[in-house]
């Protein structure tokens, strides 16, 4: 059973492209470099609203133990490097972790 770590962050319209670059060029490579056992996938979703842009990230791990290997015993705490904090307005402080029940590809 896989675990999905789901996080939201919001930024201004002006900082949205910059934040996306930070995610793609710094945050994700930094996580990949940790060589975390059971780390499987990183997904980024972007939703532009009238006054801000919402980013949703979903990190897939094999188990909750793999999440703990990534984030430590306080694994529900969000992981937001300082470079990302500089361009975000706000973000989830605590993160839910969902068990993947089923996937169907068509």
Is residue 23 one of the residues assigned to a domain?
Answer: yes
Tell me what pLDDT residue 24 has: 96
Please tell me the distance from the alpha carbon of residue 20 to that of residue 44, in angstroms, as a whole number.
9
Is residue 28 one of the residues assigned to a domain?
Answer: yes
Q: What is the residue range of 54's domain?
A: 3-99
- Secondary structure E strands in the chain: 3-11, 39-48, 53-61, 90-91, 97-99
Average pLDDT on 3-8 reads: 98
Task: State the average pLDDT for the chain.
Answer: 95
- Give the count of domains, the chain: 1
Given a contact cutoff of 8 angstroms between Cβ atoms, the answer to whether 13 and 89 are in contact is: no
Is residue 106 one of the residues assigned to a domain?
Answer: no
pLDDT in tens, 22-67: 999 999 999 999 999 999 999 999 999 999 999 999 999 999 999 9
Is residue 105 one of the residues assigned to a domain?
Answer: no
Is residue 104 one of the residues assigned to a domain?
Answer: no
Closest CA to 22 of 81, 93, 95: 81
pLDDT in tens, 30-41: 999 999 999 999
Given a contact cutoff of 8 angstroms between Cβ atoms, the answer to whether 27 and 44 are in contact is: no
Q: Is 15 exposed, middle or buried (0-12, 13-18, 19+ CB in 10 A)?
A: middle
Is residue 69 one of the residues assigned to a domain?
Answer: yes
Q: Please state the pTM of the whole predicted model.
A: 0.91
Is residue 59 one of the residues assigned to a domain?
Answer: yes
Q: What is the CATH number of the domain that holds 77?
A: 3.30.70.100
1 pLDDT band (50/70/90 cuts)? confident
């Amino acid at each position: 059973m896989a675990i999905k770590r789901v996080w939201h962050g919001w930024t201004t319209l002006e900082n949205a492209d910059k934040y996306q670059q930070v995610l793609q060029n710094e945050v994700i490579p930094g996580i990949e470099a940790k060589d975390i056992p059971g780390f499987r996938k990183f997904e980024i979703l972007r939703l532009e609203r009238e006054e801000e842009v919402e980013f949703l990230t979903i990190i897939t791990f094999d188990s909750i133990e793999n999440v703990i290997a990534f984030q430590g015993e306080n694994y529900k705490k969000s992981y937001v490097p300082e470079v990302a904090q500089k361009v975000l307005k706000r973000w989830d402080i605590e993160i839910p972790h969902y068990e993947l029940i089923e996937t169907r590809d068509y």
